Chain A
Amino acid sequence: MSDAEAETAAEEKPRVKEDDAEEKKKSEEAGESGGESGDDDDDDANVGSEDESGSDDDASDDDEDDDEEEEEEDEDEEDEDEKPAKPKKPAAASDDDEDGEVKAEPAGDDDGDGSDDGEIMTAAKAKAQKAAKKKEKEKKRSRNQFVDDVADDDDDDGARKRKKKKGKKSGKDGRPGGNMFIDDMADVEDDDEEEDDEGDDIDEDLGEEEREAVMREAEQRVHARYENLERMERMENEEELEAALKERYAAHRAAADYGDVGIGTEVDQQALHPTVRDPKLWLVTVKQGKEREVVVCLMQKAINLHRSGKGAMAIKSAVVQDHLKSYVYVEAEREDHVKKALAGLRHVYHSKPIKLVPIAEMVESVTVTKKKVSNIKMGSWVRMRGGAYKGDLAKIVDVNFADNQCTVKLVPRFDYAHLQAKEEGTHQGRKKANLRPPARLFTEAMSAKYNLPLERSRHDRRMRANVDVLCGQHKLMDGYYVKTISLASCKLADAPALDELQRFSTGEEATEAKTSDGGRANAAANLEALASSLEGAAKREQNFLPGDHVICVDGDLVNLTGVVVHDNADGSVKITPTHDDIHEDIDVDKQTLRKYFKVGSHVRCVHGVHDGESGLVVKVEGQVTTVFSDVKQEEFLVFSQDLADSKEVTRRVESIGVFTIHDLVQLESSAVGMIVRVEKDAAMVMMASSTADRPDVRPVKLHDMRRKLMDRRVTASDAGMETIENGSMVRIVDGPGKGMRLTVKHINRGTLWGKVRGDVADFGGIVAVKARSCRVDGSKSKDGGNDANRAGGFAAAPQSPGAALLRSPAARQQPMQMQDAPRAGRFGGGPVGRRDNSLVGTTIKVSAGVYKGYKGKVVDATETTVRVELQAQARTVTVQRNQIVMPSAAPPWGGAAAAPAAYQPAAPATAPTPARTPMREYARTPAYGDGIGSVTPLRDDGAGGRTPLRDSAWNPATPHHDGGVGGGGWDDDAPSTASAPAPSSDPDAGYAGVFVTKAVVSLPDGRQGVVRARKNGAVVVAIGTTKTLPNGVVTLDALTSASAMETVPESVLTLAPAQKKDNVVVVTSGEEQPRGATAVVISVDEGECVMKMDGTKEAAMMPATAIARVPIPFSALDRTFTTIPLLSHGASSPALPPLVPAASEPGFGFGVAACASFAAIPRRMISWSAEGLAPARLDASPAAASDATLCAFLKTSSAFASPAAPASARAPTSVLTRLFAMDSFMCASSSPRLSSVAAAATFAESGRFRLARSICSAMRRAARSSSSSSARSRFAFIAWRIFSSLSSGR
């Protein structure tokens, strides 16, 4: 029956497509309904096969299904194309039923129903009877597209589908009830099976097709539900079916996802972890701040595309994480899907690469750790974010989330004058005051004073209360300003401290003005109310620490006190009750506990304005504790939760911003006062209007202080027209405070601020008086006047430029100290001291403090401090007397016995080269120093005499073993050479001849050697071995340990002719090149050498006689590997055995030589040890060694420089040094470019990167033009290596 219908539908399909749209739609409906029944049959068969024949059969079925599916694919597509237009609602389905226009329709529908009924019966039976209908199934599949739709699902899936439909059918009109339940059950099954499918399908290659099929099927299911509603009504055996289903799905029920949308979380989230089959997440870079916009735009774009019919995007979803700046995730199968979807979107950085998120990180990418955000609600305390009220506390009186607004109650900061100007229309020219108006509660007096219109008791709809309206716009309520603001312009405040609440409750000024007892009582009375209001608002988390005393304020244990033992993780606190009958520790809920302080205990405030102050508890009233401050000697009120037990007395705060206590400051109002006390956020300033008995002390905020006044040299006139100076002692002779004696600290416009002697406790004994009512202490006035003048003169003429810049407190007190020691001492407690001229003029060294290590000349001294003019900096500083070290017993300058070392004239030996700084030595490549041996002994500035630095030049003539191993690694000029000049001086100093030390010279007999020293016209020459170059020139090959020393008259010696690539030094000053300049010979042509100067990098031409060849590592390496020509240093380890025996072995010698060479060149030495060298032996001489052997060798050798090498081998090396080590070996067998490599490395080492790069470029060019391919690649490689390390390593 249904077979036939299905067939009809399938056959109809092509024809239907030519029909008009409506018909198309309907015929499809028909086809679908027919398909459903066919499907059901098929499923029955499947159920049967599943139960009977097992998985093998299934597998074969699946194969067949696949084939069939491919055949049917096109048809399916057409079906899909039409679907969007297809109505989904059940109503539409029923319309179709009633519509008789399409011939196949009614019959198909009816039949479908009939068959469904039958199917349900079959379904129930199928389980019981386990009847197999395999053949039938196959037949249907070949004909029915709907069979094919699910053909790729496994049998179980198909069965599920059927069940689901049955469930649908059993419902009536979509009315929720038992049928819906079944439906949901089926959904659950869907989930499970879809996941199963995914697991099963991994080995198949049908990913997209299958997904599509699943998708299609899911959609179809939605349609089927509604289409079947009608038919469901006709269901008779609901109960029976339900029972069957229940039985069958009982197992799945536990894991039922009962919701259609993400509510149910009973399915193990674990099962939802991404698999390789899932779409991937891609990380896309977008403009910061536009992440959400991009994600939402993607959604909108998808919809727009759909609406305009231009197709859709292939991406699956887009995710934005709030905490992830400038990135969004896009879920898609492929990267180009992402790109396509993002095309044309603003704020996306299209040029940035799209990165794939690894599967393991996908979950993390879309997971947010849920954090509880407390929302602004009625009664919350908030702080304003900006504007005149920035930071002010406000209370929320209304929230309107819809408009994103809230109404807050604030202590107003009205600029009444400005309001008035506005009212009068004269505000145009008047800029709004720059100052923030003070926060104080509004009173009618203010509106009256400024003549501002005030409308009383207007009913406000939003507030549902009566408000006063000032100037027609500012709503006021009980003196508070009621303002509606954006939710974003305020932020939730954590529980405000008591003082802030106080300020809020009484207006800011009220707290400060509450000097009278009555005001204070009122404030205290309000506190409890405030505290209770605080309870409702966001309460700060109370922290209880072990040892805290607590009291229970709620619950059964109310009023129980105890000591905290432990703060449990679950929000309770274990306490030891202080109760006679309770002997066990008990756990108490944190919320019911309050900190409890006994009267008399010493506490510290940990929050609020009094933060950091300590004091004694004098009164406890509920939550409000009265504390008597240690510092201010005043009481203050604070919540007990803001207190902590403390044994310590907190230190006084002495500065606010740049202002320190006892500074004279000018306020924004141009008034002048002296800071007499500093509080947390304000300074108490004693104004000039004060009198001795009535101090006018005002709290001033930091921003109200304009500048600090420097009045050191300001004077005033006393009653007798005597000059009062800073530090003078005066007596009040008139007016209030008559008879007081005070030491003047500040003077400003006839007002003196000074410290009173005796026990005036207020404000640290500071009083302000008019200068005219004082008289300078008589005797002091005369005598001290001279003294002071002298001191003043001293101060007026700073000894160094730095003196004028002095800012340190010590420095400020300087004049006082100078003026009159005893008086100054009493004043302010600064360093006390008498002038001590004995030290002035001496050179001392600072031994402690910031200036530790500095030396300088004493320009002034007291008993406790000295003023030192530093040698190293153009400053004069004050140093404690006990922090200086005398070079000796502090003799006066010029004392013959022990003049400060630094001023001793330079030793004669250094005189010829006074301008050469030690630095230069290091900045140069070794070649220079090696060549000329021009060593500048360093001046040693140490106090203990002078030790010229030992010759740091690398001495070629002295093999390192010769000089003894135990030295510091640097051989001096051959100690074994008796004729060596005194080590303390430059061997070439004062020598004008051509045979400079280390020059290569030829003896008359053809032997060659190196000049070691000169003595009375004779030259000591270390004789080396020679070899003959291919061009026939005999040249010095190497010096060995056995090199003989010969003393030869200068007259018989000749300079060895320099050859190409030799390192040379200019010994006869030319037109441009000074003596001593070093160079590398580029070419030699008929007695003229073309050289590249090391210093200037310019080519120069010199006569061959004007230059002397000096042995240099590079060229030595080029020429020979068989002996150690040049080796002296690097042996920092005393244990290093002499290398000569080893060096006699060819391969080893090569290694050592090479190491020596490369180590020497970059000047940062690579030390190496014997054990480090041991593996680096070559069996053959390098010339004979193959490249492979060399490579192996260099690998081991390069280990010297690697971190894994023995400690002794790990000298400071750089990437380049190592590189050079390797590459030089690589080049060794064909060495022509070695020096280039070396040069590049050297320049890079010394920071001349441009040169190094240009050499590298040259090497690359050379490599390209090289004839040998292996050489080409090698040099290209080396150049590349150096290049890359130049760019990456540096």
Chain B
Amino acid sequence: MSAAKVDTKVISVIKSAADPPLEFVKHTRACFRCKLVKTFEQARFFEKGCDNCAFFQMNDDRDRVAECTTPAYSGIVSVLDPKSSWCAKWMRLNKAVPGCYALEINDDVPDGIAGEIEEHMERGR
């Protein structure tokens, strides 16, 4: 298996990647559900919402973004290849889009949001 083949494989995955936060430390927030880290506006919870958790419907809604994401997280993992990455597997991100994720959320999920996630799960069933 040549490296080229691996590369092409990754490309197809990367295509759907979530934009990484452009500012590296400041103003970044992590999605409560999938831990995806983005900046508030530029990249883009505000613009695009969460790539994994579209049901949050954060785009264009400042309050929603503030509600569904938190700046209190620690550590970042850039998942380039969720399918084959062990890190992604370990963090259960193997079905998430590639992107930067928080290692851990240090904040309590607000009750409302927790409920929404629960509800989404139920519907998913």
Which of A's residues lie within 8 Å of B, judged by CB? 77, 80-81, 83-84, 176, 180-181, 184, 187, 208-209, 211-212, 214-216, 218-219, 257-265, 267, 269, 272-274, 278-279, 281, 290, 292-293, 295-296, 298-300, 302-303, 306, 311-323, 331, 337, 362-363, 366-373, 375, 401-402, 404, 488
Contacts and interface: CB of A to CB of B under 8 A. Distances in A.
Contact of B78 (A259, A273, A317, A402): A317
Interface string B76-89: 11111101111111
Contact of A320 (B75, B83, B98, B124): B75
Interface string B23-43: 011110100011100001100
B59 interface: no
Given A218-B83, A272-B89, A317-B87, 20 more contacts: A81-B8, A215-B83, A219-B12, A219-B13, A259-B124, A262-B35, A264-B92, A267-B92, A299-B78, A299-B100, A311-B4, A312-B14, A314-B3, A314-B7, A316-B85, A316-B86, A319-B87, A331-B87, A370-B104, A401-B40
Contact of A317 (B75, B88, B106, B117): B88
A77 B77 contact: no
B1 A208 contact: yes
B87 A313 contact: no
Nearest to B6: A314
B8 A319 contact: no
A174 B25 CA distance: 38
Contacts of B66: 401-402
Contacts of A303: 14, 17, 19-20
B125 to A, nearest CB: 5
Contacts of B92: 257, 259, 261-265, 267, 272
A371 B9 CA distance: 37
B11 A176 contact: no
A830 to B, nearest CB: 58
B117 A368 contact: no
A290 B24 CA distance: 9
B96 interface: yes
A258 B21 contact: no
Interface of B: 1, 3-15, 17, 19-22, 24-27, 29, 33-35, 40-41, 52-53, 62, 65-66, 71-72, 74-81, 83-93, 95-96, 98-100, 103-108, 117, 121, 123-125
A293 B37 CA distance: 13
Given A184-B124, A299-B98, A316 B5 contact: no
B17 A317 contact: no
B66 to A, nearest CB: 6
Interface centre among B40, B85, B87 (most CB of A within 10 A): B87
A659 B73 CA distance: 46
Nearest to B41: A402
B11 A292 contact: no
Contact of B6 (A84, A187, A208, A290): A208
Given A181-B125, A311-B4, A296 B24 contact: yes
Contacts of B53: 261
Contact of A312 (B7, B26, B65, B103): B7
A331 B86 contact: yes
B41 to A, nearest CB: 7
B17 A302 contact: yes
A577 B52 CA distance: 55
Contacts of A209: 1
A1149 to B, nearest CB: 67
Given A299-B17, A314-B3, A371-B106, A320 B90 contact: no
8 contacts: A212-B9, A261-B34, A262-B96, A274-B86, A290-B24, A303-B19, A311-B7, A337-B3
A1146 B35 CA distance: 80
Contacts of B22: 300
A178 to B, nearest CB: 9
Contacts of B13: 215, 219
Contacts of B33: 261, 263
B48 to A, nearest CB: 14
B95 A261 contact: yes
B91 to A, nearest CB: 5
| Among all A-B residue pairs, the 9 with the closest Cβ atoms | A262-B92, A316-B85, A278-B86, A368-B104, A299-B78, A208-B1, A312-B10, A299-B20, A293-B24
B74 A368 contact: yes
A298 B78 contact: yes
Contacts of A273: 90
A321 B90 contact: no
B108 to A, nearest CB: 8
Nearest to B21: A296
A209 B74 CA distance: 35
A373 B73 CA distance: 9
A319 B125 contact: no
Contact of A279 (B15, B72, B84): B84
A744 to B, nearest CB: 62
Contact of B76 (A267, A279, A320, A401): A320
A303 B22 CA distance: 13
Contacts of A261: 33-34, 52-53, 92-93, 95-96
Interface centre among B41, B91, B99 (most CB of A within 10 A): B91
A19 B29 CA distance: 47
Nearest to B77: A319
A314 B85 CA distance: 11
A279 B86 contact: yes
Given A77-B5, A176-B123, A316 B62 contact: no
B95 A316 contact: no
Interface centre among A212, A369, A372 (most CB of B within 10 A): A212
Nearest to A363: B90
B78 to A, nearest CB: 4
Nearest to A293: B24
Contact of A295 (B11, B14, B76): B76
Interface centre among A261, A295, A296 (most CB of B within 10 A): A261
Nearest to B34: A261
B12 A83 contact: yes
Contact of A306 (B6, B14, B107): B14
B53 to A, nearest CB: 7
Contacts of B4: 311
A315 B14 CA distance: 12
A278 B88 CA distance: 11
A1216 B14 CA distance: 60
A368 B103 contact: yes
Given A317-B78, A319-B87, A212 B5 contact: yes
Interface centre among A262, A267, A401 (most CB of B within 10 A): A262
Contacts of A370: 104-106
Contacts of A176: 123-124
B6 A316 contact: no
A1239 to B, nearest CB: 58
B16 to A, nearest CB: 8
B28 to A, nearest CB: 9
B12 A84 contact: yes
Contacts of B20: 296, 299-300, 303
Nearest to B99: A299
A373 B85 contact: no
A269 B92 CA distance: 9
Given A258-B125, A262-B34, A212 B17 contact: no
Given A279-B84, A296-B20, A319 B75 contact: yes
A261 B27 CA distance: 24
Contacts of A401: 29, 40, 66, 71
Contacts of A300: 20, 22
Contact of A366 (B11, B17, B35, B77): B77
A84 B9 CA distance: 9
Contacts of B10: 302, 306, 312-314
A290 B78 CA distance: 14
B121 to A, nearest CB: 6
Contacts of A331: 85-87
A322 B74 contact: yes
A155 B99 CA distance: 34
